[in-house]
A and B are shown apart, each in its own frame.
Chain A
């Protein structure tokens, strides 16, 4: 579904990604792990059309995305929930969801999708008239994910969905992502909360200084010494305990 080959991203003289390759198959949930500055967000921004690659290929359903403008990416079936959420804070929940249907591909079946999304996030159903800027961080993240789902995506990109959220809210957001995964939607997640994201994902990649230094199934990554050392404090306890 998504193939990335030899992707290089530079900001002036700084190289954020130095020849990264990866693939995401339909229905998979793939997590990208890495420390701050490893290039995770740059990778997601490149797929989302926000950052132009210096070289390399980003291919979605066989079509090259490298030169597609950011606003057309969502029409290709890729919805991005960026770091910072990118919500319309001074608009209501209902308006944010309605804007999610702005792409032409999302106009058919919008009402049914809205019902599904509100079932997924019942808290939003009660607050449709509320301005999003007045909601808590967790609720704003739910609005951002719900809005992305309204665009009828094939692939959902999530950049640090738990950033700045309290543990209990993070649990709620990941529970919703689990339910989204069960629908068969393909997910590509960049996340610092390694335990939660490996519990959700089927596979993952480990980025370090702009390069892929490891990859494998979620179980393999969980027991990978490099991942344990860097993110899990050297423990390999079952993750379910932490999420349940």
Chain B
């Protein structure tokens, strides 16, 4: 019981971590709190489901298709919708308020389009649903694959940010945007790339979630809220923090559901969130100051 709960918690947490990475990048690098983030995940869920049910294309192949599409969609939204707001803000705090309102509007536009296109029914498909025995417990293969792919993407992203020239430039923009020009970094361009990369991660998260979870066109807000909680718990812009906070949240929810009461999972989530906000407002792994 304990081991299976631990595995389920880690699997769920891995997905939460992946969900949060994109949002963390979009806010940390582009300074845009994207409230429509969950809707973009759902678009990937529906796209991968369609590819699987209509063409028989496995969700991991679907993931390879929706990730570049997510990057492209992020790029287009930043260019068409966010860039005018960035120009108007003049680099001030007005950008955060404007982009929160703009993406709040975008949330309903995308949700409306999904409702018209896919309807309001719950959607799912069956892919590698059989159980696999690990250390005396059984776990669905699709959940295990989603967990492993989430970790590979998460640690791959972390390595990219630490080791590559592009990653270092993205971190520089995230940590000190006002100094980035001194080393020849175009903050506007990197901000756009960071937002697009967040879109690609949202798409990856959507593709993986669709493998084992039922979803509907109105579920985006739940995904966004979970991602937001993980981002704040891990420390805004802190990739490793988001990974660990995601795993912790998944474990907390699963253990509360298994050993206390399934009805208290949301309460456990928000209790952790409130505790972090009260005692560690910069996040479990965040640092004060810039």
Interface residues of A (CB under 8 A from B): 49-50, 69-75, 79-80, 82, 86-91, 95, 98-100, 102-104, 106, 133, 147-148, 151
* Number of A-B contacts defined by CB within 8 Å: 68
A99 touches B172 (CB 8 A): yes
A133 to B289, CA, bound (A): 10
Closest CB-CB distance, B178 to chain A, in whole Å? 7
B187 touches A91 (CB 8 A): no
A91 to B184, CA, bound (A): 17
> B residues within 8 A CB of A71?
180-181, 184-187
> B residues within 8 A CB of A82?
182
Given contacts A86-B178, A86-B179, A102-B165, A91 and B185 within 8 Å (CB-CB): no
> B residues within 8 A CB of A100?
183
**CB neighbors of A among B261-290 (8 A):** 287, 289-290
A95 to B165, CA, bound (A): 10
A99 touches B175 (CB 8 A): no
**What is the predominant secondary structure among interface residues of chain B facing chain A?**
helix
Question: What string of 1s and 0s marks CB contacts (under 8 Å) between B159-181 and chain A?
Answer: 00000010011011001101111
A90 touches B175 (CB 8 A): yes
Given contacts A71-B187, A95-B168, A98-B168, A88 and B179 within 8 Å (CB-CB): yes
B175 touches A86 (CB 8 A): no
A148 to B184, CA, bound (A): 11
A151 to B102, CA, bound (A): 39
Given contacts A99-B168, A99-B169, A102-B165, A88 and B184 within 8 Å (CB-CB): no
Closest CB-CB distance, B26 to chain A, in whole Å? 19
> A residues within 8 A CB of B287?
90
A89 to B172, CA, bound (A): 10
B175 touches A88 (CB 8 A): yes
B168 touches A80 (CB 8 A): no
A100 to B172, CA, bound (A): 11
> A residues within 8 A CB of B187?
71
> B residues within 8 A CB of A75?
184
Closest CB-CB distance, B189 to chain A, in whole Å? 9
A244 to B182, CA, bound (A): 32
Given contacts A95-B168, A99-B169, A90 and B184 within 8 Å (CB-CB): no
A91 touches B175 (CB 8 A): yes
> B residues within 8 A CB of A69?
181, 186
In the complex, besides A90-B290, A95-B171, A99-B172, 6 extra interface pairs with C-beta distance below 8 angstroms are A88-B172, A102-B165, A102-B168, A102-B183, A106-B184, A151-B183
A70 touches B181 (CB 8 A): yes
A147 to B176, CA, bound (A): 15
Q: Output the residue of A71, A95, A104, A106 with the most chain B CB within 10 A.
A: A71
B181 touches A103 (CB 8 A): no
The residue of chain B having its C-beta at the shortest distance from the C-beta of A144 within the complex is B182
B290 touches A89 (CB 8 A): yes
18 contacts between A and B (CB under 8 A): A49-B181, A50-B181, A69-B186, A74-B182, A74-B183, A82-B182, A86-B178, A86-B182, A87-B179, A88-B176, A90-B287, A91-B171, A91-B175, A99-B183, A102-B168, A103-B184, A147-B182, A151-B184
The residue of chain A having its C-beta at the shortest distance from the C-beta of B187 within the complex is A71
A104 to B184, CA, bound (A): 9
Q: Which 8 A-B pairs have the closest CB atoms?
A: A103-B184, A86-B179, A70-B181, A71-B181, A74-B184, A102-B183, A99-B183, A71-B186
